[in-house]
Each structure stands twice: as structure tokens, then as C-alpha cells.
Structure 1
Amino acid sequence: MARGSAQNAKSNKANNQPASAKGAGSHLRANKGHEADFDDFEPLVEPSANRDIAGVVIAVLAIASFIAVISPATAPVTAAVAGFYHLGFGLGAYVLPIVILLFAATLFLGEDSPLNVRSVAGGAVVFIAVVSILSLMVPGTSVSCDLMFTPQNLSASGGYIGAFIASALQN
């Protein structure tokens, strides 16, 4: 073993390359001239596969959250997901999973996607404006904004997002 590694070190010194730079097994006589064969390899998946995998994962999460929002159950995970959507976004909880599903669908389009940063930002501003208007429509909030933050009003109006923005605008 010591004799072979001493010969490998000699051959690597003769080529002015360290042992790690030559590649695994390139110092063997049977592999001489085949070093270029190992440099060109095809990847197992295409580069667009990452976008496809992300699209499938996001689509599954969107469908699962839509089912949890539409028909909340007593299971702890679905109740937590439904509570997050209903308290956080109010009536927008029914729209948000559909928007997430549409975003997942655009991931499959790749570079031909009709979405850009400006259109996504504009859609987010419109969504926030709508949930804020829903929170402003809660009865009895003209005197105090405290009624916007009760749990039943949160889920029936714009949720915490809309209530925070509506209370800031109303004050």
C-alpha cells in the first residue's frame, strides 16, 4: 500500500498536480486518456424540473389549505390552518388559496409566465385594499376600532391584515 501511494505521489509530482486535482482513479493505467469522458455527464433531471417540483408542492399545499378553509374539521392541523386563514385574512381566506394555486400553475410555464413583479405587487395591493375595506364595513367601528379585532368580526370581515390597516387609516 505504501509503495503504490509513493508511486502515485511521484506521478502527480511529475505532472505538477496534487493528488486531489487529477480526479478519482485517473492515475491508474487503465484510465489514461479517459479523463475527459468523466467530465462530460448529463444531469439526472432537467433544469426546469426544479420549477415543476416547486409547482407541484405549492399546488398541493394550496389545495389542502383550500379544503381546510372551506370545510374546517376538528383535526388539529386543519383547524389551525383554517384559523390562520380566517383570522389572518377574513373573507380573503377563500380567495388566497386559489391565488396560491394560480401561482403554482404559472411555475409550470417557466419563462413564458405572464407574471412579473409589478403585476404581483399590484395584485397584493388590491387584495390588501379589499380586506381593509371589509374591515371598515364592520358595524360600530366609527367610534372605536376595538370591534374590528373581535374573533367573529375578524373572520367575517378582513381579518387581522384588514383590521390593522383599517384601524390605522381610521385613526
Structure 2
Amino acid sequence: MSTTEEIDDLRKRLQYLEDRTAILDCVMNQSRGHDRHDTELMGSVYFEDGVDEHGPTVKTGPEYGEWANAAHTAVFEDHLHNVTTHTCEIDGDTAHAESYVIGAMRAKGGKIVSLMGGRYIDRLERRDGVWKIALRRCTIEWMMNGDTSLLKSGAVAGFIKGTWDKTDVSYQRPLSMDGAPVSRW
């Protein structure tokens, strides 16, 4: 293999890694936006004409965040969307990704948490050099409820409690012990 061929091969492999990283960041930023109720971040991962299908609810990507926040606020005190297994096939400026998600949603009143397992099935596109979601379809594979009384037992006393806004400690820059006060259990 000539030096030119080696450099071309390295460029292709580097581009693939950059694309995979951008796609995974897109998927993860949507989940982070969900859990912090950051509609700006949530909307930023969809194209203006992007579509999100969550069960019977179909919204354009940019409007999905406001709808999801209102729906979650009505019934949950907090939630976490944990993306686990992630696969992705890239074909030029189009990618198809499957991301497994485990969602934990603590009901109003804080006594019950629902755990859900599902998948995000995404078609992503690169437009003007940026990867975003063009279509997301969601599955739910299983669901269960559990008791959250352990949270009130003192076992987690003193731990930081997340917030649904940009006062959450994850937004603090630079992260320090002297930053804004945090909510604690």
C-alpha cells in the first residue's frame, strides 16, 4: 500500500469515527435534554422537519421537547433515560441507529418508580455537515413498577438530587465544590 493509499484509508476511518461519535452524541444529548427538561437541547438534535413517534404521539422534533416535558411533569417527579446498547449503520449522509433505553420514571408523590425498557429506532442524516435525527420511532419492550421507599430511608441522604432545569449540577462550568447550591436528598 502506498503512502497516499494509507493516508486515504486513514481519512476514511477517521471520518467514520467522527460520524459515529457525532451520531452517538446526538442520541445522548436527546436523553440528557429529556432528563434536564432542556427543550433547547432536546430540540437541537432534530432537524426542523424531523419527526418523533412516541407511541400514539407523533410530533415534529423541535416541538417534541415541550410536549414531552409537559407530559412528564403531569405524572412524574423525576426520570432518567439511560441509553445502553447502541448500533449504527452509516451509508453516506444517512445513518440508521438502534439504541436501547432503560427509563426510570418516579411518579408524583414519589412512592412508585416505573422502569421501562425500549428502543429508539433512528434515521439520522448529515445536512450541512451536521448529524441530526430525521425520524425517531420508539418501542416499549417491557415495563415494571417498584417501591421507592428506600429514597426516604436515609440510605441516600446527602447525595445530590438532579433538577429539571439548567440549575442542575451537570451544567456548572467549571464544575467545582464552591458552585451554586445543589438540591440534596
Give TM-score, length-normalised by structure 1: 0.27
The structure with more helix, counted as a fraction of residues: 1
Higher relative contact order (CA 8 A, sep 6+): 1
The structure with more strand, counted as a fraction of residues: 2
Give TM-score, length-normalised by structure 2: 0.26
* Bigger radius of gyration among the two: 1
